[in-house]
Amino acid sequence: MNHPRDPLHGITLETILTQLQAQYGWQEMADRIPVRCFQFDPSINLKTAVDPVFEAEK
């Protein structure tokens, strides 16, 4: 699935986060990138994280 101009083509956000979490852990990610979802109650439950966005658009 590699495309020469888009190395992330076909790689899901879930895959990226899973690999980052395995390599660095949530605390290291929160220290490096101060994002609330890394700092407070982190998880890789994308359905829960995305549902409120879709509900607001309805």
User: pLDDT digits over 5-16, tens only?
Assistant: 888 888 998 899
| Structure confidence at residue 56 as a pLDDT band (50, 70, 90) | low
According to DSSP, the residues that pair with 34 across neighbouring strands are none
pLDDT of residue 23: 95
CA-to-CA dists, residue 55 to 43, 44, 46, angstroms: 20, 19, 14
Q: In the chain, what percentage of residues exceed pLDDT 90?
A: 26
User: pLDDT digits over 29-51, tens only?
Assistant: 999 988 888 888 888 876 655 55
Phi first, then psi: give them for residue 49, nearest 5 degrees: -70, -30
